[in-house]
Amino acid sequence: MRIVITGAAGFIGSRFVELLLGAEHLGYDEVIILDSLTYSGRRENMETALRDSRVSFVHGSIVDADIVDETLRGADAVVHFAAESHVDRSITGARLFFETNVLGTQTLLEAARRHEVGRFVHVSTDEVYGSIPEGSWKEDHILEPNSPYSSSKAGSDLAALAYHRTYGMHVNVTRCSNNYGPRQFPEKVIPLFVTNLMDGFKVPLYGDGQNIRDWLHVDDHCRGIILVLEGGRPGEIYNIGGGTELTNKELTYQLLALMGKSEASIEPVADRLGHDRRYSVDCGKIRNELGYTPQVPFETGLAAVVQWYVDNEAWWRPLKDA
């Protein structure tokens, strides 16, 4: 069987391909990576996967209908990671986010419909729900996105679900909490802070530092997506979380401790525009239906990720110097 993975030169997608190749019981003997290699998509991230004879790479954008049509021809499944994803970049340049995340997703869905692709898993984010002061979101919670990024992802979620309801396609949407792990682009908070501290710079902490996020190791996220790919019910949404809620200040202090730095390395900065206060997903549905449980304890995973950046300066240094 043939599966197409979009955005698999990026942080999460590249790790997903590596784990998918080990899930031989799923029967995918041909894995096609479709990626446009934007600033955060790197050939180096695909090195391990491309050594496997089952994997091939197509350099192209999801908004290019001709490339998408040819790539999806004969596919049995699509797992769609490709997206513009950095909130700060969306605030200063929103148009690209809507073009890629909404129109690109619709281009994929339309090609999948024409070619009668059997399964389509659309990877989204908990940010589409907005902000929740207490409790946790279930999948049927109203969407209240507050940034151009999250609103573009909400639009792509709705497009995916519409293709299920209108055309009967087997579509699933997954909504994850904040990911962390090796090979994450150093504009994101954990690699940004670790690499800043390695260089003797301060770490920028937004506002009062009390914004709360749920942290999910990339391996647990990818295992959850594989469960949805294998057994998700058509038209259903599945939250995937890590179960570790921390304020940004608490996360910062854990990183300072791991790097042997003091709070003097913190630089308070003006809060982000429209900064959501708290995210929290209820993972009961994927746990009860598909048997999902996160396996990487946060303290263990965070320490390993910090060490990865310490040991792999050659990977991140060109990105920060660019």
Domains of the chain: 2-179+217-240 (3.40.50.720), 182-213+244-274+297-321 (3.90.25.10)
Tell me the C-alpha distance between 175 and 241, whole Å.
8
- 206 catalytic? Reply is no
The arithmetic mean of pLDDT across residues 122-132, rounded, is 97
- 126 catalytic? Reply is yes
> Out of 18, 35, 84, 126, which one is annotated catalytic?
126
- 149 catalytic? Reply is yes
Pairing of strands 119-125, 171-176: parallel
pLDDT category of residue 236 using cuts at 50, 70 and 90: very high
Tell me the C-alpha distance between 208 and 111, whole Å.
46
Q: At what angle do helices 313-321 and 189-198 cross, to 10 degrees?
A: 100
The arithmetic mean of pLDDT across residues 260-268, rounded, is 97
Residue 35 is classified by DSSP as E
Residue 322 has pLDDT above 80, yes or no: no
pLDDT category of residue 280 using cuts at 50, 70 and 90: very high
> Out of 149, 180, 279, 309, which one is annotated catalytic?
149
54-89 pLDDT tens trace: 999 999 999 999 999 999 999 999 999 999 987 888
For 49, residues 6+ apart whose C-beta sits below 8 A from its C-beta are 8, 14, 17, 18, 21, 31, 33, 55
239-248 pLDDT tens trace: 999 999 999 9
For 174, residues 6+ apart whose C-beta sits below 8 A from its C-beta are 121, 122, 123, 124, 224, 225, 228, 237, 238, 239, 240
137-164 pLDDT tens trace: 999 999 999 999 999 999 999 999 999 9
> Out of 35, 127, 219, 276, which one is annotated catalytic?
127
Residue 53 has pLDDT above 90, yes or no: yes
For residue 273, the model assigns a pLDDT of 87
